Structure 1
Amino acid sequence: MQTLDRWFEDYAVGEERTTTGRTVTEADIVAHAGQTGDFFPHHMDAHWCATQPFGSRIAHGTLIMSMAVGMTAGEINPQSMSYGYDRVRFIRPVHIGDTITVTARITDKSDHRSRPDELGYVHEQVTVRNHLGETVLALVHLYLVNKKSRPATA
């Protein structure tokens, strides 16, 4: 990972980046189940899943979300912090062996309500697709970002 200072003014609405692929493994699903305590049969019981419309075990939506966030975190920016996630949607199941890629596109920028001279919000639309090109997850990642023009502190 590289460290770089990227200020609010440096982000442009419309800029986009796409990650390389990552294949979801059984080990990923088992580890996530252990970490979260979510051992629902949708994720853990191959025989039961075979009787369901989705046909085989599926990854936890929260696992795919975590992977997507990690896949887009290629730089350390001391001027920016994750502020949260909005409009999270688990659109299609992800199965063991599926390969996902993530596209992140800046969709909006806005000033901080109470500190507009110092801080701003950057909104990033995150779309996760499987190897077939189908969207499996979508969310908006919000960043709180320092402004270059912020007043000097005494």
Structure 2
Amino acid sequence: MDESAAPFDPRAHRMVAEQRWFDDFRLGERFPLPSRTMTSAIFLAFQAASGDNHPVHYDREYCRARGLPDMLAHGYQVAIQTAAGAGIFPHLVEESLKAFLEQSSRFLHPVFVGDTLYPALEVDELTPRAGCV
């Protein structure tokens, strides 16, 4: 071990070198998240966590009898795939984050077992708030 090396400081252990602040963000800026294929296991885990018991989310035969190709994902099951913590965003704002105030979602297509999602966060509004900038 090199005795001349500086001691390890956990506060310096970061995913990104520079923090971002409110003025560093731009409208339309996107933060991709890892892709994820919606497996039967993800459907099962969501059903167990949510308590949602509608057969459209867990019964293949029920879905097929109604013309659906497979089980249909619940909207919240799709929305949780966009958790900011899954990507680099929370590391960019580690020092500047004051609070997570709101989130919105827009569903463009139904999601079925086997579909792969490519989520991204996008800055669509920048509103300074007193005490938060």
Bin the TM-score by the shorter chain: 0.7 to 0.9
How far off is 1:103 after superposition? 2.7
Number of equivalent positions: 115
User: How far has the Cα of 1:72 moved from its partner?
Assistant: 5.1
Question: Higher strand proportion, which one?
Answer: 1
Structure 2 Cα separation of the partners of residues 29 and 47 of structure 1: 15
Q: Is the 8 A contact 1:13 1:108 kept in 2?
A: yes
Q: Give the Cα–Cα distance (whole angstroms) in 2 for the partners of residues 85 and 42 of structure 1.
A: 26
Letter in 2 for 1:27: A
Matches within 5 A, 1:31-46: 31-46=45-60
> Which letter maps to 1:42?
V
- Whether the aligned pair in 2 keeps the contact of 1:71 and 1:102 (CA below 8 Å) is no
Distance 1:91 1:13, change over 3 A: closer
Change in 2 beyond 3 A, CA 1:70/1:23: farther
Shift of 1:71: 6.8
What code does the residue aligned with 2:111 have?
V
CA distance in 2, matches of 1:96, 1:43: 10
2:101 counterpart letter in structure 1: Y
Q: Per chain length, whose mean CA-contact separation is higher, i.e. which structure has more relative contact order (CA < 8 Å, sep 6+)?
A: 2
C-alpha contact (below 8 Å) 2:33/2:82 kept by paired residues: no
Larger radius of gyration: 2
In structure 2, C-alpha distance between the alignment counterparts of 1:78 and 1:64, rounded to whole Å = 29
Moved over 6 A (4+): none
CA RMSD, 1 decimal:
2.2
What residue is the counterpart of 1:60 in the other structure? 74
Which residue among 83, 86, 104 is the counterpart of 2:101? 83
Amino acid at match of 2:113: I
TM-score, normalisation: structure 1: 0.64
Cα offsets for 1:23-73 (capped at 9, x unmatched): 111011101101110021011111111111323111111111001225753
1:143 maps to which residue?
Answer: none
State the alpha-carbon separation in 2 of the partners of residues 70 and 94 from structure 1: 20
1:21 and 1:82 mapped to 2: Cα distance? 23
